[in-house]
Every structure is written in C-alpha cells, then in structure tokens.
Structure 1
Amino acid sequence: MAELRACGERVTLGEREVRFLSEIPHGSPSLDVDLECELECGHKGPHHGIGDTSHSFGAGRLANGEAVAWWVRWDDSTGRRDVVPMGNCPVETARGQVLSEVCILFDRHPGRHTFEWETSE
C-alpha cells in the first residue's frame, strides 16, 4: 500500500465542538482535540478532519443505516468551522475481494481516493 500524502493542516477543537462530539450517541469514549486535514495534499476548498465515528447501531446511523462519521470542516480564509455527519466513501479497489483497499474519506469527497495517492520518492 502506498504511503498516504494527506494535507496535514491542523486545527484544535474549541469548547463548543468538543462538547458536541462528546455527546454523540454511541461515539468513541475518548476524543482527540487536535485534528489534521485528511484530504489529499493540494486539495481545493475547506479542510476536513475526522472528529468521531458513531457505532453502526441505534441513534448513530444515517437514514440509510450506515454508521455516521462526524467530520470537522474548517476554512482558514473565513474562519468558519462546522461539525458535519457524513457517510463513508463507498469506493474500493476490488469490491468484495479480500485484498480490496477502501477509501478512508467521506462520501463524495473532493480529489482522488486515498488508495490512489502515491508518494514522490
């Protein structure tokens, strides 16, 4: 597998975001307040870092039954930050195969899928 080249822009969650993410039903018991943008280097638009993931049962599901990933989206140029629920990117290299690689980003993310990223050596 190729080494990932994520954007890496960082953000520290504020009190409001920490409180919101801490109260997510079926979320993780621990929360990382320092996030990195997980989109590909050089992406256009706002940055996105994974805030938390609800487990795939109960109130932690999207209407289609998929587990919810809560992404923190921020724009350095405007200062705007949001916490938004998004489904997982459904694309994988060989659907149904044991050695298939999955994209670890959100559905309809900008840019290429994470398994398409390559590092320059």
Structure 2
Amino acid sequence: MRKFGTALATLGLAATALLIPATAAQAESGSTHQSAEASVMATKYYFNTWRNATSYRYPSTSTPVGVLWAGRNYFYCQVSGERVVDSAGNYNYWWAKTDDDSGNTGVYISATAFSVGGKDQAIPGLPKC
C-alpha cells in the first residue's frame, strides 16, 4: 500500500491528503477482486492516516481482523456505522473500506484515523459505498 508514498519520498515530494483516484490496473499489481463488489473496489482513493488503525470485517468494532499502518493508504469508499471514540478524543461514525497491511481485503477502518475530515463528518472526497 505504501509504494505510492515511498515513490513520492524517493522523488523528494511530500505526500499530502489529496485524493488521487487510480484504476485497479494502475494501482498495485497482484490486487484482484473476484466479488460482486469489484466495480466499487476498482477505483482507489489515496489518503493519509495519522496513526496505525485496527481493521474490521464490518463497520463496527465487533470483529477486528488486522491492522493498517499509518501513512499513505488507498481506500475504495465509505459507509456510516458504529461510532468510534479513540484515545485522542476523536470520534466518528464513518468507516472507510480498504485492504489492510495484514492481508485482509474489503475491511473497514474508522475515519478517526484519517488526517482529513472532522468529528462525525464523512471523509471529504471519498465516495459512499
């Protein structure tokens, strides 16, 4: 997931919170989706996360499955779900769908980990699922 951010750093460019849509073919190789959600997950939007985030199978904290490391990551879309309050006092009920760094696909990350957006606000520029 970090190939894009690493490439920017190598070029001496700063990775910002701007979204950069890319088709699945333009993004990381080896990422295939065989499900009915393939069309939703064909476009990737890149955002910075300010901390490591636990990934969940559903947009709630009931089923943790892995981790998404802090930094530049791609996301497919967002959906509302369970409200999360983190240790820094951030809170949000929006969740972003992604593939985590533990190898899980189509998982959710709380919007509290994003460098953009506000409390209980959707992530600007990320489409709804």
TM-score scaled by length of structure 1: 0.34
* Structure with bigger gyration radius: 1
TM-score scaled by length of structure 2: 0.33
